[in-house]
């Protein structure tokens, strides 16, 4: 209303002012009515990527789409409702490759990848791919299961270039991989650790482990159930811990009202009143930017038997705390970190104690050289791998039952059990002191 053509002047008649007030009041009423209408529409769930988002492929005459609407209607239906289809990204952009491309097959006059690799996504998403490949979700996840034997020189170099990837003590799990054999591990370790699997074209990683094809929906990738595919179970129960934390309770009881589809980079406390796994570890939130490097906000190597601080602990702490500070005050966060650091050191002390208890057996050569072939191997493994780690994860992610009854208590029980087993072995060998 205040454009340059009608400047305010002091010599207007009185009726003009009165008329202007009436017009403003009327316009104001209209505006309020319009706002009520907008709120009513947006709060009934009709926004976002629900089933009512338009099918971007509805009028498509693309060959791939036309034929696959019959052969694999599910794929066309899902992809049609994705943001990428709306942005004119085609089936070919992910699937079509040059003749002879590693891992491709001839298909309908061209060559396709049945399982597009991260190299295909990288063409359009170089930043996300670079961050992902610098994290433990990249090649370290695969090496954790198979070891470095058999890696090509390029892959070995990639592995060694990830500072955090190299921190991989406690190698005995590779022995489990070998002992169980491919019939089992295909459905076990690989189901989770293939998130870092190398592909035939030399690229690494499976973005689709979090971005379930073919919707590639932000909502799905942000929800904690996505992480629950792998971050679950007795040795890394992050999902169970989250569910019993106040953050998880807020999600379970109010999450249906959160703004799951907010544009990446714009999420605030208005969209997410409590954090999910992604909020703390991946998403942009308030003044923190998105990262696909899930190690970037962590200070400890919690998964190790005896935890050490990470090389970038100080800057990583600031990044994570910037997320917390959107909702908690600095004194609360500092006090929480001091307490959680102390709990981590307490668990370290227990694991070191378990090694001292075992030491006489090691010195006397009374343990078999193979891992996992006698009960004591399992007791000493469970002590740190299940219960010690769970106590640490529960502490850092607010799950008291996991710190206590699935954590510290079990550690104490296994310590007692270890003492008994060690004494038995020493007695059998006639080495028990006082005998
Ligand atoms: C005339 C029909 C037709 C056309 C056109 C067509 N496809 Fe297919 N596609 C099929 C059928 C049938 C299958 C399953 C049998 C097979 O693997 O050949 C299939 C399988 C596939 C697979 C899985 C391959 C595998 O090895 O498992 C991919 C990926 C694929 N199509 C992508 C495409 C893309 C991309 C295009 C466009 C460049 C395309 N298709 C065009 C019919 C078609
Ligand atoms: C943004 C990348 C992307 C686009 C675009 C895309 N796909 Fe895929 N497609 C994938 C990924 C990733 C997989 C999963 C491979 C896996 O799970 O190992 C896949 C798998 C497939 C498969 C094999 C699935 C199976 O279960 O056998 C077919 C067939 C297929 N896509 C067809 C299509 C068709 C048709 C289109 C277009 C309507 C399309 N894709 C668009 C990424 C894409
Ligand atoms: C040809 C380029 C191209 C390729 C290849 C491609 N993307 Fe995309 N992708 C885009 C564009 C463009 C957008 C942005 C859509 C928008 O925000 O309007 C996008 C958006 C996305 C989003 C955000 C979706 C949303 O709702 O905001 C995800 C997740 C994503 N892509 C994952 C992948 C993955 C995983 C692959 C490989 C399997 C892949 N993309 C391959 C171009 C591509
Ligand atoms: C249910 C999914 C799942 C299965 C199955 C699984 N893992 Fe893991 N593994 C994980 C997750 C998640 C982590 C990360 C834990 C953390 O950092 O808190 C992990 C961590 C590890 C680590 C420690 C990280 C490192 O780089 O040193 C090793 C080693 C490992 N797993 C090996 C194995 C082996 C070997 C198997 C099979 C015998 C296996 N895992 C089965 C999900 C799984
Ligand atoms: C398909 C399985 C899988 C899914 C899904 C998955 N992860 Fe992981 N994640 C792993 C494995 C395996 C590791 C351990 C890698 C290793 O051994 O080096 C890991 C490690 C991590 C780590 C520790 C990184 C580090 O530097 O120590 C974090 C944090 C993490 N994941 C967060 C998440 C979040 C958040 C989600 C969901 C948005 C998620 N992950 C989804 C398998 C998965
Ligand atoms: C561990 C789970 C996980 C994996 C694996 C993963 N992503 Fe994501 N991705 C997410 C989450 C969570 C978001 C939402 C981020 C947010 O809320 O800011 C996201 C967002 C995105 C977006 C939208 C970001 C933006 O700024 O517009 C793109 C594009 C994307 N991912 C591509 C990829 C590609 C490419 C890969 C593989 C190289 C990949 N992602 C692997 C969890 C994952
Ligand atoms: C309130 C924020 C928050 C939420 C929500 C959250 N985490 Fe965490 N997470 C943390 C913090 C803090 C740490 C420990 C950080 C450190 O080492 O400084 C951590 C540690 C981890 C680790 C251990 C990495 C290692 O060193 O072994 C994994 C894996 C992980 N979180 C995954 C998840 C998953 C999966 C979820 C959801 C089920 C989740 N987190 C929910 C904040 C969170
Ligand atoms: C988006 C907002 C939000 C973010 C971000 C957030 N929290 Fe919270 N937090 C909450 C809410 C809501 C509660 C529940 C408050 C209550 O108990 O009344 C809570 C409670 C807690 C509690 C109390 C636990 C208990 O058992 O009483 C701790 C500790 C905590 N948060 C730590 C953190 C840490 C550490 C971070 C960052 C890594 C973080 N929070 C990030 C919203 C948030």
Angle at 33 between CA 29 and CA 37, to 5 degrees: 170
Q: What pLDDT score does 25 carry?
A: 53
Q: What pLDDT score does 174 carry?
A: 82
Residue 107 phi, psi dihedral angles, 5° rounding: -155, 115
pTM: 0.92
Q: Would you say 130 and 205 are in contact if contact means Cβ atoms under 8 Å apart? A: no
Query: What is the 121 CA–ligand 2 centroid distance (Å)?
Result: 12
133 lines ligand 7 (CB under 6 A): no
250 lines ligand 8 (CB under 6 A): yes
Q: What pLDDT score does 163 carry?
A: 83
Query: What is the 84 CA–ligand 3 centroid distance (Å)?
Result: 5
Give 374's pLDDT tier (boundaries 50, 70, 90). very high
* Averaged pLDDT of the chain: 89
Residues with CB under 6 A from ligand 5: 136-137, 140-141, 144, 164, 192-193, 195, 209-210, 226-227, 229-231, 277-278, 281-282, 294-295, 298
Summarize the confidence of residues 193-218 as an average pLDDT.
96
Strands lying side by side in the sheet with 96-97? 96-97, 110-112, 105-107
- Contacts of 307-311 with C-beta under 8 Å, sequence gap 24+, read 307/344, 307/347, 307/348, 307/392, 308/167, 310/164, 310/167, 311/163, 311/164
Q: Would you say 196 and 148 are in contact if contact means Cβ atoms under 8 Å apart? A: no
Residue 1 has pLDDT above 50, yes or no: no
Percent of the chain with pLDDT over 70: 87
> Among residues 245, 235, 231, 173, which one has the least CA distance to residue 389?
235
β-pairing, 105-107 vs 96-97, is: unpaired
Q: What pLDDT score does 255 carry?
A: 97
For the CA of 337, the closest atom of ligand 8 is 35
| From 9-23, 167-181, 269-283, 297-311, the region with the lowest mean pLDDT | 9-23
Tens digits of residue pLDDT in 20-75 = 545 455 555 555 444 444 443 343 333 344 445 789 999 899 999 999 999 999 99
How far lies 231's CA from each of 224, 225, 235, in Å?
A: 10, 10, 9
Question: What does the alpha-carbon distance between residue 369 and residue 429 come to, in Å, rounded to a whole number?
Answer: 17
Q: What pLDDT score does 27 carry?
A: 54
Structure tokens at 36: 């009520």
Give 17's pLDDT tier (boundaries 50, 70, 90). very low
> Among residues 33, 83, 39, which one has the least CA distance to residue 57?
83
Give 6's pLDDT tier (boundaries 50, 70, 90). very low
Q: What pLDDT score does 52 carry?
A: 58
Residues with CB under 6 A from ligand 2: 64-65, 68, 72, 75-76, 79, 84, 89, 91, 93-95, 114-116, 208, 213-214, 216
| From 45-54, 296-305, 350-359, 394-403, the region with the lowest mean pLDDT | 45-54
């Amino acid at each position: 209303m205040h454009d340059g053509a009608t400047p305010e002047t002091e010599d207007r008649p009185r009726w003009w002012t009165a008329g202007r007030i009436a017009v403003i009041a009327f316009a104001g009423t209209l505006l309020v009515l319009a706002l009520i209408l907008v709120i009513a529409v947006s709060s009934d769930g009709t926004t976002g990527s629900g089933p009512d988002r338009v099918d971007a492929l509805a009028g498509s005459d693309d060959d791939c789409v036309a034929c696959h609407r019959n052969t694999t209607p599910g794929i066309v239906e899902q992809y049609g409702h994705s943001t990428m289809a709306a942005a004119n990204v085609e089936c070919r952009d992910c699937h079509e490759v040059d003749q002879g491309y590693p891992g491709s097959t001839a298909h309908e006059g061209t060559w396709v990848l049945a399982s597009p690799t991260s190299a295909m996504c990288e063409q359009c998403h170089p930043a996300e791919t670079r961050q992902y490949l610098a994290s433990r979700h990249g090649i370290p996840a695969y090496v954790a299961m198979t070891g470095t034997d058999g890696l090509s020189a390029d892959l070995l170099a990639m592995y060694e270039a990830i500072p955090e990837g190299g921190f991989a003590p406690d190698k005995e799990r590779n022995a489990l991989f070998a002992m169980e054999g491919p019939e089992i591990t295909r459905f076990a370790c690989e189901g989770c650790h293939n998130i870092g699997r190398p592909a035939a074209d030399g690229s690494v990683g499976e973005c689709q482990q979090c971005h379930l094809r073919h919707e590639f929906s932000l909502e799905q990738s942000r929800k904690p159930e996505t992480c629950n595919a792998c971050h679950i179970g007795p040795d890394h129960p992050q999902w169970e811990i989250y569910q019993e934390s106040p953050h998880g309770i807020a999600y379970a009881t109010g999450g249906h009202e959160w703004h799951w589809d907010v544009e990446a980079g714009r999420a605030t406390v208005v969209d997410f009143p409590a954090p999910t796994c992604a909020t703390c570890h991946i998403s942009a939130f308030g003044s923190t930017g998105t990262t696909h490097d899930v190690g970037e906000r962590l200070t400890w190597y919690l998964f190790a038997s005896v935890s050490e601080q990470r090389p970038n602990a100080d800057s990583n702490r600031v990044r994570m705390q910037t997320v917390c500070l959107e909702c908690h005050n600095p004194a609360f966060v500092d006090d929480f970190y001091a307490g959680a650091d102390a709990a981590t050191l307490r668990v370290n002390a227990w694991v070191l104690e378990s090694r001292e208890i075992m030491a006489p057996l090691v010195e006397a050569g009374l343990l078999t050289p193979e891992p996992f072939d006698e009960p004591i191997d399992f007791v000493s493994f469970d002590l740190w791998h299940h219960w010690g780690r769970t106590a640490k994860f529960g502490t850092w992610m607010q799950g008291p039952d996991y710190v206590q009854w699935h954590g510290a208590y079990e550690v104490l029980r296994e310590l007692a059990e270890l003492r008994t087993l060690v004494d038995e072995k020493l007695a059998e060998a006639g080495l028990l002191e006082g005998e």
